[in-house]
Amino acid sequence: MMQNLLRSIPKMDALLLTPRGIRWAEEYGRSQVLEAFRQATHQVREEMLAGSFPEGEEPENRVLNMASGVLQGWQQMNFRQVINATGIVLHTNLGRAVLPEKACQAILVAASGYSNLELELETGKRGSRYSHVIRLLQELTGCEDAMVVNNNAAAVLLALDTLARGGETVVSRGELVEIGGSFRVPEVMKAGGTRLVEVGTTNKTHLRDYEEVLGPETRAILKVHTSNYRVLGFCQTVPTEELVELGHRSEIPVIEDLGSGFLADLSAVGITDEPRVQDVVKKGVDVITFSGDKLLGGPQAGIIIGKKEYLERMRKNQLTRALRIDKLSIAALEATLSQYRDMERVCRDNPTLAMLSVSQEELEAKARELADLLGSALPAFSFVVEPDRSQAGGGSLPLVELPTWVVRIQGGPVTEEELSRRLRAGNPAVMGRKQKETLVLDVRTLKREEFPLLTRALIKALDGEDQ
C-alpha cells in the first residue's frame, strides 16, 4: 500500500510538462523550477511516510502547490516595504527619513544611467562629488565650505582624525553621548587617534573647566549636541559662543556635532529647542557635523561644513575615500537640499517635515477616515478613534511629544502580541504601536494611499492568515 502511494509521486519530467511547470520554467528558469520540484516531492514523500498526507489529495497537485510556495518564497525579497503606523517619524529600524519625491526621482536618474558624479562638464576634466552640494550648503547655511561622507559618525571621525590625531580633544562629561548600536563618542574619538580630556560634571560644565585643561597637546574642543537625551534640573552648559571665543583666542578649532541636521522653522508646532544649522554657523564654529537622514529629511549622509582651511585638510585625508558617500545618496541629498530654498514649501514637500508639522485637524480627519474604512471591512471588530502622543524618533527632539490621533483596534480573540506578529509577517509588513494590551495605528506616519493596503493586511491578520 505504502509503495503504491510513494510510486504515485510524479517524476520531474512529468512535472515540467504540466501547464504550471511550462509557465514557471519560462518565468523562473528550468534549474530553479527543478530544485523547487525536488524540495516539494521530498516534502510529499515525508508526509506519506508519516501518514500525514491529506486524504483525497492528488499527489501531483500537492507537489505543484508546494513547489509554488517554494518559488514564491525565493522570489520574495528580504528587504521589503513596511507600513509605519507607529507614529515615530524617524524610525531608525524602518529606515529613518522618507525621502521627498524629488529625491526619489534623482536617485532613479543616477541609478539608471551615467552621470557627472566626478566630471566637470564645462571643462571635461575630473571633478569632485562634493561639488553637487557645496554651493547649496553654502547658500542655505552661510558656511565657507562643505563636504559629505556616508554618515555623521564618519563625519565626526574624519574631523577628529584630521584635526586632532596625536593630541587631546576636550569634551564636557555631560556630552559623552552613546548613539544607536552602542556607538559612543569616546570610542569614535579613540578611533580618530585623539585622547579624550573630560571636563566638568555630568550636569554642570563651566567655561573655566575648559580653560584649565587647555595646553600644548590640545588639538580641538568638541561640543556634542545631546540630540537623543536631555539633562534637566540643576544643570549648566557652556554656550557655543563662549567656546568659540575661547577656541579662537587659544588657536584651537571648535568642532560641534549637531547630530540632527535641522534647517527649517517648526516653532509653530512647538519645536523650538533644536538648534538650526545656519544659526550655529553664525556663532563662528569652525567645523559642524550633522546627519542627512534625520531632521533634514534626506538620505543617510554625514555633512561637514565650516572653515575652508579645515575642510580642505579633511578632503586630503586618506580616510576620506573609505568614508565617501555614494552617487545615489549624493543625488538624493542635492534634491533634498534644493527644496530648502523655499522655506514656505519645504514643510509640505519634505515628508519628514510634513509629518512633524501636520495639524491636529488633519490627523483627526485621517484617523476617522481610516477607522470608517476598517470598520466597513471588519464589522466584527471595534476601531476607536482617540487622541494620543507620538515622537520624532531617530535620536531627535528627546523632549518633544507630538499630539496625534490614533485608531485603537479592539475586540476579537487575537491578542495584540499575536496580531502584531501576523502584521509583521505580511507583505507589505505593518508596524503598529502596542499600548494598553491593544494595538494602535498612529496616522501621523501613515499615507492615505496606504489605507487600502493596511485594510487588506488587517483582514488577513484578523482572519488568522499569515500572508
Establish if 251 belongs to a structural domain: yes
pLDDT of residue 15: 93
Same domain, 120 and 27: no
Contact 281, 250 (CB under 8 A): no
- The cell for 63 is 507537489
* Same domain membership, residue 363 and residue 301: no
Check residue 229 and give its pLDDT. 64
Pick from 304, 307, 300, 289: nearest CA to 336? 300
| Residues 431 and 284 placed together within one structural domain of the fold | no
Among 349, 371, 388, where does a domain finish? Answer: 349
In terms of domains, do 363 and 441 share one?
yes
- The per-residue pLDDT for 339 is 96
User: In a 3-state reduction of DSSP, which class is residue 87?
Assistant: coil
CATH code, 361:
3.90.1150.110
Q: Is the pLDDT of residue 94 over 60?
A: yes
Instruction: Please give the Cα distance from 416 to 237 (Å, whole number).
Output: 44
Q: Could you tell me which residues are beta bridge partners of residue 257? A: 224, 289
pLDDT in tens, 153-176: 999 999 999 999 999 999 999 888
Return d(Cα 227, Cα 176) in angstroms, integer.
12
Q: Quick one: pLDDT band at residue 467, thresholds 50, 70, 90?
A: very low
Q: What CA–CA distance (Å, rounded) separates 228 from 395?
A: 4
Flag whether 394 is in a domain. Answer: yes
Give yes or no: residues 341 and 404 share one domain. Answer: no
Confidence label for 414 from pLDDT (cuts 50, 70 and 90): confident
CATH number of the domain to which 287 belongs: 3.40.640.10
Exposed / middle / buried, residue 422 (Cβ in 10 Å: 0-12, 13-18, 19+): buried
Is residue 144 pLDDT above 50, yes or no?
yes
List alpha helices for 317-380, DSSP H.
319-322, 327-339, 343-349, 351-357, 360-377
Q: What is the pLDDT of residues 257-289, one digit of tens each?
A: 998 888 988 887 777 778 899 999 999 999 999
pLDDT for residue 179: 67
Is 157 in the same domain as 301? yes
Task: Write down the pLDDT at residue 466.
Answer: 43
More confident site: 462 or 389: 389
Q: Tell which residue, 228, 449, 258, 269, has the closest CA to residue 356.
A: 269
Residues 86 and 120 in one domain: no
Percent of the chain at pLDDT > 70 equals: 96
Domain end (from 332, 349, 366): 349
- Quick one: average pLDDT of 34-39? 94
Residue 219 resides in a domain: yes
Q: pLDDT > 90: what percent of the chain?
A: 68
Asked if residue 397 and residue 336 are part of one domain, the reply reads no
Specify whether 335 is located in the same domain as 384.
no
Could you tell me if residue 467 is inside a domain? Answer: no
Set of cell numbers at residue 105: 526621482
DSSP-derived secondary structure for 405-467:
EEEEEE-SS--HHHHHHHHHTSSSEEE-EEETTEEEEEGGG--GGGHHHHHHHHHHHHTT---
Residue 14: pLDDT band (50, 70, 90) is very high
If asked whether residues 153 and 289 sit together in one domain, one would say yes
| pTM for this model (two decimals) | 0.85
Q: Which triple of cell numbers denotes residue 97? A: 527619513
Q: Which of 108, 180, 86, 102 is nearest to 341 (CA)?
A: 102
What's the pLDDT at 465?
A: 46
Report the chain's C-alpha Rg in angstroms.
Answer: 28
Does any domain span residue 400?
Answer: yes
As a whole number of angstroms, the distance between CA 386 and CA 7 comes to 61
Total domains present in the chain: 3
pLDDT for res 464? 54
Domain identity same for 216 and 315: yes
Q: Which of 327, 349, 371 is at the close of a domain?
A: 349
- Residues spanned by the domain of 41: 2-75
- pLDDT mean over 352-359: 93
What's the mean pLDDT in 240-265? Answer: 93
Give the chain's mean pLDDT.
90
Q: What does each C-alpha distance from 374 to 88, 364, 407, 415, 449 come to in angstroms? A: 22, 15, 10, 18, 14
Same domain, 167 and 280: yes
